[in-house]
């Protein structure tokens, strides 16, 4: 027995040393395209880049203007919007993200931003859906730039004429997340009681309106200063979280959409009907666990779900042309409006915009005009 334990100990030790060496080498080999920034681009455009993690490393630089492939459109970006997604990438948190391909020591992709609206400048030879001059909106990594290339069949759609570029740029991530949370994960039905925690932020302002358009009885949770806004978006009831805790009253909801998971799962279960659904959308923001972020809570919901009547789980929004088009139609028909908190006037202000969003109290969306 003693010899077996000795050998087992040696094997585990060797495995640990190999794993440590592997992570150490991968960490120091982790690099990105920043060395190319030293050489002057032949056809330059301005773009936001970050060579290392941290908001202090986010800056405006000149990089090569992209050329559309056969199935892509080249869009002159006129406006972009900021999402919590962006600061997760800037900070490289939760750290587990870095090991999942984002870059261990440095960000692999040095570009930032996703949501954009702009004008099609050129199209690849196989593109039939768009033509130069079309006004479009959608999502594509690297949207904090003067130009972006997007596959024509990807998350890009014609911009509703009634929307400004700034309004259209605010739709993609927040609107699609809200739509898929209400329709696909919450499966909201007319007459159901739906609670939206974090009703005044980017996702929440869309979710309130979409849940209402599905015929739900909507309760929005926000702070005092946002109560009127949330009511004006159609919420039937508003709970001011500075005065009342929704998890401590006797009201039960069929669906809870949670942008701010600041209640324990047992508190959430208390506020759900016996067959209710809990859709976890957000993590805990900058105060979340820096190593695993919301994943601990996700695992908790997975472990709990098979043993209870209520359905609990996290959603991950999926890019979708159909959903973008549907959102555009809802905006065009007046069923949905965009709420913009602040508009920053140039790409150079992207770090300020991300800093503001990171504070966690944006009222609707934060947008950048790309001059």
Ligand X SMILES: NC(=O)c1ccc[n+]([C@@H]2O[C@H](COP(=O)([O-])OP(=O)(O)OC[C@H]3O[C@@H](n4cnc5c(N)ncnc54)[C@H](OP(=O)(O)O)[C@@H]3O)[C@@H](O)[C@H]2O)c1
Q: Does 324 bind ligand X (CB under 6 A)?
A: no
Closer to ligand X by Cβ: residue 119 or 305: 305
The tokens for 247 are 């998890």
CB of 145 to ligand X, least distance (A): 21
Residue number with the smallest Cβ distance to ligand X: 201
Q: Cβ of residue 176: shortest distance to ligand X, in angstroms?
A: 8
d(CA 242, CA 262): 13
Q: Does 226 bind ligand X (CB under 6 A)?
A: yes
315 binds ligand X (CB under 6 A): yes
Q: Which part of the chain contacts ligand X (CB under 6 A), choosing from 116-124, 125-133, 161-169, 356-364?
A: 356-364
**Token digits of residue 31:** 């690099």
Strand pairing of 115-123 and 135-139? antiparallel
Residue 369: beta bridge partners? 79
Tell me: does residue 113 bind ligand X (CB under 6 A): no
| Dist CA 220 CA 226 (whole Å) | 10
208 in contact with ligand X (CB under 6 A): no
Residues 6+ apart with CB under 8 A from 111: 47, 48, 49, 141, 142, 144, 145
Cβ atoms 201, 177 nearer than 8 A:
no
229 belongs to the binding site for ligand X (CB under 6 A): no
The residues near 202 (Cβ < 8 Å, ≥ 6 apart) are 81, 83, 84, 170, 173, 174, 362, 364, 365, 366
Interface with ligand X in residues 128-157 (CB under 6 A):
none
Task: Rule CB under 6 A: choose which of 174, 312, 353, 354 binds ligand X.
Answer: 174
Give exposure, 115-139, as e/b (b: 16+ Cβ within 10 Å).
bbbbbbebbbeebeebeeebbbbbb
**Sole binder of ligand X in the list 94, 139, 186, 201 (CB under 6 A):** 201
Convert residues 238-257 into a mask of x (bound to ligand X by CB under 6 A) and - (unbound).
---x----------------
Place of tokens 């890009």: 156
175 touching ligand X, by CB under 6 A: no
Q: Closer CB to ligand X, residue 84 or residue 103?
A: 84
For ligand X, the binding residue among 92, 103, 139, 283 (CB under 6 A) is: 283
Q: What residues from 16 to 75 belong to the interface with ligand X (CB under 6 A)?
A: none
Does position 103 interact with ligand X (CB under 6 A)? The reply is no
**Which phi and psi (to 5°) does residue 167 adopt?**
-65, -45
Which residue in the set 282, 328, 350, 369 belongs to the binding site for ligand X (CB under 6 A)? 282
Question: What's 136's DSSP letter?
Answer: E
Query: What is the smallest separation between the CB atom of 305 and ligand X, expressed in angstroms?
Result: 17
Residues of this chain that interact with ligand X (CB under 6 A) are 83-84, 173-174, 177, 197-198, 200-204, 221-223, 226, 241, 259-260, 262, 281-283, 285, 315-317, 357, 360-363
């Amino acid at each position: 027995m003693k010899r077996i334990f000795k050998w087992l100990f040696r094997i585990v030790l060797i495995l640990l040393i190999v794993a440590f060496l592997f992570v150490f080498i991968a960490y120091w080999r982790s690099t990105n395209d920043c060395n190319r920034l030293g050489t002057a681009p032949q056809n330059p455009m301005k773009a936001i880049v970050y060579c290392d993690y941290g908001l202090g490393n986010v800056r405006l630089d000149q990089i090569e203007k992209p050329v559309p492939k056969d199935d892509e459109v080249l869009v002159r970006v006129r406006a972009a919007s900021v999402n919590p997604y962006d600061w997760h990438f800037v900070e490289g948190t939760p750290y587990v993200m870095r090991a999942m391909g984002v870059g261990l020591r440095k960000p692999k992709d040095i570009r930032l931003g996703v949501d954009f609206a702009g004008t099609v400048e050129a199209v690849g030879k196989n593109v039939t859906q768009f033509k130069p001059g079309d006004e479009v909106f959608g999502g594509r990594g690297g949207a904090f730039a003067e130009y972006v290339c997007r596959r024509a069949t990807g998350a890009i759609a014609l911009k509703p004429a009634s929307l400004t570029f700034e309004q259209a740029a605010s739709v993609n991530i927040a609107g699609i997340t809200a739509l898929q949370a209400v329709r696909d994960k919450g499966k909201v039905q007319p007459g159901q009681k739906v609670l939206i925690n974090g009703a005044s932020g980017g996702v929440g302002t869309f979710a309130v309106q979409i849940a209402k358009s599905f015929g739900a009885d909507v309760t929005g949770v926000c702070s005092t200063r946002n109560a009127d806004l949330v009511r004006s978006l159609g919420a039937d009831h508003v709970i001011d979280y500075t005065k009342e805790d929704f998890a401590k009253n006797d009201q039960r909801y069929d669906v809870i959409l949670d942008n701010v998971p600041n209640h324990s799962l047992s508190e959430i279960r208390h506020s759900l009907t016996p067959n209710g659904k809990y859709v976890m959308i957000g993590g805990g923001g900058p105060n979340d666990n820096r190593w695993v972020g919301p994943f601990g809570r996700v695992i908790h919901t997975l472990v709990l779900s098979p043993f209870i009547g209520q359905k609990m789980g996290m959603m991950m929004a999926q890019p979708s042309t159909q959903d973008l088009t549907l959102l555009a139609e809802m905006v065009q028909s007046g069923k949905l409006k965009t709420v913009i908190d602040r508009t920053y006037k140039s790409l150079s202000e992207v770090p300020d915009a991300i800093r503001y969003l990171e504070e966690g109290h944006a009222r609707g969306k934060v947008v950048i005009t790309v001059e």
